[in-house]
Amino acid sequence: MQAEVEAPATARPVGMVAIVGRPNVGKSTLVNALVGERVSITSRKPQTTRDKVLGVRTDDNAQYIFVDTPGFQRRHRNALSRRMNDTVTRALHGVDAIIQVIEAGGWTDADTEVLQLLPPQSTNVILAINKSDLLADRDKMLPLMADSMQRYQFRAIVPVSAEKSRQLDDLLEEVRPLLPEGMLLFDAEQYTDRSARFLAAESVREKAYRLLGDELPYGIAVTIDRWDESRATPQIAATLIVERDTHRPIVIGKDGAKLREISRLARADIEQMLGKPVFLEVWVRVKRGWNDDVRALKSLGYD
Ligand SMILES: Nc1nc2c(ncn2[C@@H]2O[C@H](COP(=O)(O)OP(=O)(O)OP(=O)(O)O)[C@@H](O)[C@H]2O)c(=O)[nH]1
Ligand SMILES: [Mg+2]
């Protein structure tokens, strides 16, 4: 997808920056804030991101290619979570910089496990302490930064608020010197490697995550079954796949109200992304145990 940015075609710092951390610390919110577009879905439930997603920010003085990753999980519950952890580990290779994200509330065991994935002697790892807006006692930040330095030789530690877009420039200032000089890897107006179709499916999944109770989201996948942009109003059909028969009525809701709301909110996002009205229908289908079935995962695009 594309945004409107002009940039001269001269060499400048250009490189890949992996964003890693335990589930729910705000990695995707941070990537969206840094890029200035919604490239990766977010929710207050952990394990929202399932796939690596690139978010590109092109400034006059640098191009940052952020790699949003799934939250690293301590336990593998099924084939999907195994694959999500593999995605995190692979994302750490071949990047120019790594940002580990933790919350301002402090280190947890799950954060420490992420630390163990980092290259032991790297000088290219930055710590972002996110959700600084939630820290009631600002005096706690300095000790937290000092404690963090004891845990790993971070190149820099930057408190940020992804949600409120605070101190993101400070973070970019720390990242820029780590990027090699080069020509742009993405067109200046391109902000992600993902297609509109993928973003649309993710938008439907995001609304389901946000509108459904805690028990359901991990068993939800979304496929796009029809994508017809040949008409003035693009025609899109999506299917919400659930794991169990008993989940179907929950997703549909009383008289179809829940599904209509998911569909309405997703349509608004897709319309904004495509810049025109769309026709979206969302269906529900049961595919038992899909998230622990390697073949089913492949067919759903989790390859
Ligand atoms: N108060 C506050 N909330 C935030 C901030 N950044 C993210 N959040 C919230 O934290 C929750 C998790 O955000 P995500 O961006 O989905 O987190 P994530 O690390 O990508 O999560 P996974 O993909 O599940 O690993 C959401 O409810 C966000 O709105 C922040 O700076 N301040
Ligand atoms: Mg995420």
Structural domains of the chain ordered from first start: 12-182 (3.40.50.300), 196-299 (3.30.300.20)
pLDDT value at residue 216: 80
Is 85 near ligand 1, meaning CB less than 6 Å away?
no
Is 51 near ligand 1, meaning CB less than 6 Å away?
no
Please give the distance, rounded to the nearest whole angstrom, from the Cα atom of residue 162 to the centre of ligand 1: 8
Q: Which ligand is nearest to the CA of 24?
A: 1
On whether the CB atoms of residues 278 and 233 are closer than 8 A, the answer is yes
Please give the distance, rounded to the nearest whole angstrom, from the Cα atom of residue 158 to the centre of ligand 1: 17
Q: Collapse the DSSP code of 290 into the 3-class scheme (helix H, G, I; strand E, B; otherwise coil) and give the result.
A: helix
- Could you tell me how many residues make up the chain? 303
pTM, two decimal places: 0.94
pLDDT value at residue 6: 56
pLDDT value at residue 2: 64
What tokens were used for 177?
């010197």
Q: Whose CA is nearest to atom 2 of ligand 1?
A: 131
Is 26 near ligand 1, meaning CB less than 6 Å away?
yes
Atom of ligand 1 nearest to the CA of 25: 19
Please give the distance, rounded to the nearest whole angstrom, from the Cα atom of residue 226 to the centre of ligand 1: 31
What is the separation, in whole angstroms, between the first and last Cα of the chain?
22
Ligand 1 pocket test target in 163, 164, 214 with most atoms within 8 Å of CB: 163
Is 220 near ligand 1, meaning CB less than 6 Å away?
no
Q: What's the CA gap between 231 and 234, in Å, rounded?
A: 6
| Pick from 116, 210, 129: nearest CA to 166 | 129
Q: Whose CA is nearest to atom 24 of ligand 1?
A: 47
Tens of pLDDT, residue by residue, the chain (303 residues) = 666 655 556 789 999 999 999 999 999 999 999 999 999 999 999 999 999 999 999 999 999 999 999 999 988 889 999 999 999 999 999 999 999 999 999 999 999 999 999 998 899 999 999 999 999 898 999 999 999 999 999 999 999 999 999 999 999 999 999 999 999 999 999 999 999 999 999 999 999 999 997 768 788 999 999 999 999 999 999 999 999 999 999 999 999 999 999 999 999 999 999 999 999 999 999 999 898 888 888 888 887
Is 25 near ligand 1, meaning CB less than 6 Å away?
yes
Atom of ligand 1 nearest to the CA of 22: 25
What tokens were used for 7?
């940039």
Cα distances from 240 to residues 53, 215, 223, 257, 300, in angstroms, run 21, 16, 7, 15, 11
Q: Which ligand is nearest to the CA of 33?
A: 1
pLDDT value at residue 270: 97
pLDDT value at residue 4: 60
What tokens were used for 73?
């999980």
